Chains A and B, each alone.
Chain A
Amino acid sequence: MFFYIIKRILQVIPVIIGVTLILFLLMYVIPEDPARLILQKGATEEALQNLRVKMGIDKPLYVQYWRYMTQLAKGDLGTSYRYRRPVDSILADHYPNSIKLAIAAILIEIIIGLVAGIISAVKKYSFWDILVTVSTTLAVCIPVFWLGMMMQVVFGLKLGWLPMSGMGDGSLRYYILPAVTLASVSTAFVARMTRSSMLEVMSNDYITTAYAKGLSQFKVIGKHALKNALIPVVTLIGLDLGALMGGAILTETVFSWPGVGRTIYLAILQRDAPVVIGGTLVLVLIFVFINLIVDVTYAWLDPRIRYEKKEVNV
């Protein structure tokens, strides 16, 4: 187990170097001249040169990348072109709101996804099963931002049940529409995965034995089937955070939710690349670390993983 964890952590290092390298190239190398972008038209050549020296972009690439990485290690994501403020402090103001929304979405994903998947598996081919299958297929095809807009019209505008946008006083009512929107695709995946995983587990002999012992369906499913069926589902929920983060930009934009996603969107409109790239970097790094944690937890839950990986070495 110890060696597996070490191996997995070592594997993350090249990924982090690669991710930061790509974003570094996007930020500092591909745009023609970042100095010109910041100072815009009318700047004297001297002012431009001064800024280039100050930013270090007159140095060779590897020196620049090293500088970027050492700054990053200190939590420095660069300076916003627009506000001349450090990107990390701009983002930091909005993290709590995004995290709260993500937690609400994960709760919905777990509750609705699991219940729908379990019902669908236990009552295979029933009306409920078909309903779950159809709605999960559709959910994957609906762009999250359009779903959000539709819900705004129906529940906010026509029925007037829920607020259409913003965070208001931060009460639960404000969370419902954006959280359901953000959770939609992931909930569909969880429901599908739970269904197929449950069906697989329920065809096992020990489930038949449990029934033969005279246990009630509730006990067989709750005590025997669910526990084993949940392992892949837990992984999926962990990995789905990536989709959740990509979706956050769209959801927060539609609902004017004051989170990191909306900050990135506003920065896109203002062509403020350091904020977009810095925000993306943070989200990707969070995703990579969650992946690592999920993998290690998975290996701990199911010892077969550790050995399989060793043999196949994929």
Chain B
Amino acid sequence: MENISEIDELTTEKKYSRSSLYKDAWRRLRRNKLAMLGLAIVIILILIAIFAPLIAPYDPIERIKKDSSLSPGKAYFFGTDLLGRDIFSRVIYGSRISIEVGIVAVGISVVIGLFFGALSGYFGGISDIAIMRMADIFFAFPYILGAIAIMTVLGPGIVNIFIAIGILGWASFARIFRGSILSIKNKEYIEAARALGANNYRIITKHIFPNSMAPIIVYATMNVGVAIIVEAALSFLGLGVQPPTPSWGKMLAESLDYIDIAPWMMLFPGLAIVITVLGFVLLGDGLRDAFDPKLK
């Protein structure tokens, strides 16, 4: 055991490079105005999702019959829908579904991707070939098509959305992680750790993992935006969250038949999706430039 703690001290390269890599990246990110705008959007959105009950003036599923299909005004900022529900409150609550799906589904993809990426890149051989061919199969599915097929069979519901989007996204993460492992697994500090008796699990989790996280963080951030759009699309097609739970995609589907008499019904949920996805895309772009200024 003594040996192992020694390794950590000896491989201080890891410690320094890690802290300075992230510090440098943060410094560069702070100077990037668009990325900061993205970060601000993301933070505000998460706060809105957390504090939805405090922000929303009405119950998002309460029907106020006498006030149905009112256009935006003082009493109802974004107007009401045909059932007399406040659209502003529904948009506020809808952020919860989008953020949940974005974070949980991408989280699932990252976990599966890292596991297979590590098996593939670190051990190589047959597991590498098998996993990469499996990834090819998943790459053959256009995201939305694959999600539609899975959801049709599993049935609608938020947990199934997590599963569908999570499973479809793993291959890219596996490939990225495999690539980073291949580029660092023969570096001296890994060999040093191995020579001092660290086992594979320890090498992967303590040394390879922290040093190959940057591209994963960048891609995950961008993918949250994609997941949010896919969730909206699934809910739009009737495969996602079920009524009366407010979801932006579902709200758009409900507005489809009334775009001539109540166009505000589709305006605000749509804008909410665009702003949210834009936030994650800008932040992701900024993180990419911040972690690897050469790419810019």
> Taking beta carbons and an 8 Å cutoff, which residues of A are in contact with B?
11, 14-15, 18-19, 22-23, 26-27, 30-31, 137-138, 140-143, 145-146, 149-150, 152-153, 157, 242-243, 245-247, 249-250, 253-254, 264-265, 268-269, 271, 273, 276-277, 280, 283-284, 287-288, 291
Contact = CB atoms under 8 A, between A and B. Distances in A.
A146 B274 CA distance: 9
B233 A26 contact: no
A150 B270 CA distance: 9
A148 to B, nearest CB: 10
A247 B230 CA distance: 11
A268 B142 contact: no
A157 B258 CA distance: 12
A149 B136 contact: no
Contacts of B22: none
Q: Which secondary structure characterizes the binding site on chain B?
A: helix
Given A146-B273, A287-B140, 14 more contacts: A18-B137, A19-B137, A30-B154, A140-B277, A143-B232, A149-B259, A152-B259, A157-B259, A245-B142, A247-B144, A249-B148, A283-B142, A283-B145, A284-B142
Contacts, number: 126
Interface in B250-264: 252, 255-256, 259-260, 263
A246 B142 contact: yes
User: Taking chain A's interface residues, is the majority helix, strand, or loop, or is none over half, making it mixed?
Assistant: helix
Interface in B198-244: 225, 229, 232-233, 236-239
A271 B142 contact: no
B233 A19 contact: no
B141 A284 contact: yes
Given A18-B137, A138-B274, A249-B237, A153 B263 contact: yes
Interface string B146-161: 1011101110000000
| Chain B interface size range | 35 or more
A72 B173 CA distance: 32
A254 B256 CA distance: 8
B83 interface: no
A149 B266 contact: yes
A152 B136 CA distance: 38
B233 A145 contact: yes
Contact of B237 (A137, A142, A265): A265
B236 A250 contact: yes
B237 A250 contact: yes
A157 B263 CA distance: 10
B142 A276 contact: no
The 8 closest A-B pairs by CB, nearest first: A18-B137, A246-B144, A146-B270, A246-B142, A242-B142, A141-B277, A141-B278, A276-B152
A307 B144 CA distance: 34
A179 B266 CA distance: 21
Given A269-B238, A287-B142, A149 B252 contact: yes
B145 A268 contact: no
Contacts of B145: 245-246, 249, 280, 283-284
B281 A157 contact: no
A187 B146 CA distance: 23
Nearest to A267: B152
B225 A268 contact: no
A9 to B, nearest CB: 14
B140 A271 contact: no
Contacts of B252: 143, 145-146, 149
24 contacts: A15-B136, A141-B281, A143-B236, A143-B270, A143-B273, A143-B274, A145-B252, A149-B256, A157-B259, A157-B260, A246-B144, A246-B145, A250-B237, A268-B239, A269-B238, A273-B152, A273-B153, A276-B149, A277-B149, A277-B152, A280-B145, A280-B146, A280-B148, A291-B140
Contacts of A19: 137, 140-141
Contacts of A137: 278, 281-282
B237 A26 contact: no
Contacts of B238: 268-269
Contacts of A27: 153
Contacts of B281: 137, 140-141
Contact of B255 (A149, A245, A287): A149
Interface centre among B149, B263, B274, by most A CB within 10 Å?
B149
B133 interface: yes
Given A140-B281, A245-B145, A268 B137 contact: no
A160 B213 CA distance: 52
Interface in B264-296: 266, 270, 273-274, 277-278, 281-282
